[in-house]
Amino acid sequence: MNEMLRERGRILVVDDESPNLRLLDKMLRSQGYSNLVLIEDPRQVVQRYRSARPDLVLLDINMPHLDGFEVLEQLKGLQDPLMPPIVMLTAQHGKEFMLRALSAGARDFITKPFDRNELLMRVRNLLDAHMGHRLLHDQKTWLEETVWQRTSELRRTRLDVVQRLGKAAEYRDEETGAHVLRMSYSCALLAKEYGWNESQTDMILNASPMHDIGKIGIPDAILLKPGKLEPHEWEVMKTHVTIGAGMLEGDSSSLIKMAHEIALTHHEKWDGSGYPHGLAGADIPLSGRIAALADVFDALTSERPYKKAWTVEAAMDLVRENRGKHFDPDLVDVLEANLSGVEDIRERFKDDE
């Protein structure tokens, strides 16, 4: 083992007899091991272990208060992900002591009186192996952190892109870009409280901003008409769901598949009176049912050129009236139980004055 490892490697030595500690200290220092922690009272081992974070432990078996096996159990109880090798030291020569030590988790077993060369060779080999293991562990941790950071950056970029796509459609209508943010975060909240896992919740957060992307294909004369639409104009307006679904179909990614699903089904209604296909109940994908509720609730509570913002109480009254008609009854219950979370989202992403 090279000199750097001798200097860096920390060895914790536990023996209740001070002459043995001095002997071990002298042996190890003669070979360049300077990072030593000597403990005479075994009751101090756990505390000193936590502060020293050793790379090797030399542990006597026969000690007062706590014997080596009890100390070993205490160290194992710390559940250190990078537990150092432990070498048991004893004057007992019986095979049963060696087997017990090894079965308890010790890496090696050395009998007293110590053979100097044997002791130093075993210390060198075990410390060398552990330091190599620590290096690999540190590299693995660094790689995992780097991958996590890069993945987080990609996720943030992806979310930004899809939110901007959603905003493009909303700006053509008289909605605001903040609506896309409120709606998508409300979808994520409802999905989480409904029972979706973190991955599914993250997916709907990223996919739902594209729910009205098909409005890009609706003529301005209809999309921006200030008054009530004529029946034939309303039929054109309704095609934004199929236009949006067409823009998003054919991609193999789970994100775009869910975005396609939401774009196509967020105007379906629980009682089957929605569009484009008149789906009812559980035949409507859950992502579409969640998006429908989040979209309508935010639209009601937001001010637009053609209407004042409804109060949360008034919007909830309408939602309750449409429980089992427009909206999934279970999702209405989830919304009602989590109104404070939705209001926090509304406060976080306010419309520009």
pLDDT tens digits, residue range 147-156?
A: 778 777 776 7
pLDDT digits over 76-132, tens only? 889 888 889 999 888 877 777 788 888 888 888 888 888 888 888 888 888 888 887
Mean pLDDT score of the chain, rounded to an integer?
Answer: 87
CA 298 to each of CA 100, 121, 248, 275, 294: distance values in angstroms, whole numbers, following the listed order? 67, 72, 24, 20, 6
Residue 133: what residue type? H
Closest to 207 (Cα-Cα) out of 143, 270, 251, 150: 251
Name 281's Cβ contacts closer than 8 Å, sequence gap at least 6.
270, 272
Region 187-203: what's the mean pLDDT?
96
pTM of the model: 0.57
pLDDT digits over 229-270, tens only? 999 999 999 999 999 999 888 877 888 899 999 999 999 999
Least confident of 4-8, 10-14, 327-331: 4-8
Expressed in angstroms, the distance from the first to the final Cα of the chain is 69
Hey, which of 19-23, 145-149, 207-211, 327-331 has the most confident mean pLDDT? 327-331
Round to whole Å and give the CA distance between 352 and 303: 11
pLDDT band at 12 (very low <50, low <70, confident <90, very high): very high
Round to whole Å and give the CA distance between 175 and 169: 9
Whether 291 shows a pLDDT value over 90: the answer reads: yes
Structural domains present in the chain: 3-143 (3.40.50.2300), 173-348 (1.10.3210.10)
Q: Is 312 exposed, middle or buried (0-12, 13-18, 19+ CB in 10 A)?
A: middle
Q: What is the pLDDT of residue 166?
A: 64
Region 19-32: what's the mean pLDDT?
91
Q: With contact defined as beta carbons under 8 Å apart, do 37 and 52 qualify?
A: yes
Region 297-325: what's the mean pLDDT?
91
Share of the chain above pLDDT 70, in %: 90
Q: What is the pLDDT of residue 1?
A: 46
- Running DSSP on this structure, what letter comes out for residue 311? P
Q: What is the pLDDT of residue 321?
A: 97
Between 98 and 320, name the one with better pLDDT.
Answer: 320
